[in-house]
């Protein structure tokens, strides 16, 4: 599935070949990134809760 080989037969098909290869690469990368984004969102939510609690305690202390 090489765009250069397909290009010699059809320029349009070579473009589609290249597009499919790039979409596949994005898919495999996104499989690894998606769980990291979810973990980041969870960590940010936990940080916000901790910071809210800290700010509440600081305001009570004066």
Per-residue pLDDT of the chain (62 residues; tens, 9 = 90+): 787 888 899 999 999 999 999 999 999 999 999 999 999 999 999 999 999 999 999 999 97
Q: How many domains does the chain have?
A: 1
**What predicted TM-score, i.e. pTM, was given to this entire model?**
0.63
Structural domain boundaries, residue 27:
3-61
Instruction: Output the DSSP codes for 2-57.
Output: -HHHHHTT-HHHHHHHHHHHHHHHHHHHHHHHHHHHHHHHHHHHHHHHHHHHHHHH
């Amino acid at each position: 599935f090489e765009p250069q080989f397909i290009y010699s037969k059809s320029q349009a098909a070579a473009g589609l070949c290249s597009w499919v290869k790039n979409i596949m690469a994005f898919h495999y990368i996104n499989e690894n990134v998606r769980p990291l984004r979810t973990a980041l969102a969870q960590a940010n939510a936990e940080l916000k809760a901790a910071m809210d609690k800290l700010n509440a305690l600081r305001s009570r202390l004066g």
